[in-house]
Amino acid sequence: MDTDLLIVGGGPAGCAAAVMAASVGMRSVLIESGDTVCGALRRIPVVSNVLGVTNGPDLATAIEADLARCDLCRVALDSRATTIDAFDDRVEVAVEPVTPVGSARGPGARLTAPYVVVATGVGPLGPEGAGWLGGVAGRALPPLWEADPAAVDGRTVLVLGADRPLGTVARAHPELRTRFVVAYPPEDAYKIEEIRRDSRVELVAVRRLEFGPSSAPVTAEVRTVEGERRVLTADLAFLNLGSAPAPPAGAVAADPSGYCPPRSQHPRVFTAGDLRSVRFQRIATAMGSGGEAALGAYYASRGLPTESGGLPTEIGGPPTKTDGPPTEVGGPPDPAGGG
């Protein structure tokens, strides 16, 4: 074995797994495709729901320093895990170097350990997966979180989808005099709470949006959820559709929505962070689940169960016979994940 624990993904979930593993004496190798850990955090200017921090870059710097002090963890940057294979006695992760476009790629590696924590997060959804959008082919639609504040100040911006980066932009830039016209499908309705009181935001619930030919100004014909037809006009348009998980190929099991709940995995594979569920995509939950995944591997390595498995017989007594059909406890799995 190369190490005690392989960790794929160096966001808050993977980094928390690394320090937790070290705290119980486990060596780990953390495989990160970027040139730094916590790349996503570095793009969040304001954080208001994590104890002890107020912005993403400071948190990323603090996490990086914690990892640097962690003797038992080796961080492999610029390294992409392509495949994860799980066997009875080990896991194997195929890793290839990430090199700048056009330069020669070095040799890959195959790392082996008793357990792997997979915390590869989610990536932005493209317009091709959004059936409610039309006329998007060949149109430049950058993600909203990449918008340059100076370029949108004083302008009308058409935002496609009501995902959370809009709240981040609005909170981070109260000074912006931007008008955000947000066209969103019914399935995004639960996301608007964070932004609907911002006077710069106009929310338009739509069933269909079809772009017109012009790109400056942008025009789009929409059919609203009430059946009304409207034409929206803006200076610029940005995507804000949400994200989807993209774990390495192989042993990581996904549910029908594409997310990878911990309970569905091979006994040697632990998933953590945003990858687990569409519902719990937050920094604090990512860190908590990363630490929990590492502890899961630690207890498994010692043959100690982590599920309670019901009451011990001395307390609960012998099982009693019941009439009627067995009752299902917990209900069917949540198709959208559930973490």
> Could you say which of 1, 24, 27, 34 contacts ligand FAD (CB under 6 A)?
34
Nearer to ligand FAD, 191 or 232 (CB): 191
Beta bridge partners of 80: 96
Q: How far is the CB of 283 from ligand FAD (least distance, A)?
A: 4
Amino acid at 184: Y
Binding status of residue 283 toward ligand FAD by CB under 6 A: yes
Binding status of residue 47 toward ligand FAD by CB under 6 A: yes
Contact range with ligand FAD by CB under 6 A, out of 12-20, 58-66, 209-217, 292-300: 12-20
Nearer to ligand FAD, 127 or 167 (CB): 167
Amino acid at 329: V
Question: Would you list the DSSP string of 106-160?
Answer: ---EEEEESEEEE---EEEPPGGG-TTEES-TT----BGGG--HHHHTTSEEEEE
> Could you say which of 20, 161, 162, 165 contacts ligand FAD (CB under 6 A)?
165
Contact range with ligand FAD by CB under 6 A, out of 176-184, 210-218, 222-230, 268-276: 268-276
Contact range with ligand FAD by CB under 6 A, out of 161-169, 201-209, 214-222, 296-304: 161-169
In 3D space, the residue among 240, 25, 5, 230 whose CA is nearest the CA of residue 113 turns out to be 5
Q: Are strands 229-234 and 218-224 parallel, antiparallel or unpaired?
A: antiparallel
In 3D space, the residue among 104, 96, 76, 60 whose CA is nearest the CA of residue 3 turns out to be 76
Q: Which residues have C-beta within 8 Å of that of residue 120, sequence separation ≥ 6?
A: 8, 9, 81, 245, 246, 247, 248, 273, 275
Residues that bind ligand FAD (CB under 6 A): 8-14, 31-34, 39-41, 44, 47, 49-50, 80-81, 119-121, 145, 164-165, 168, 248, 273-275, 281-284, 286
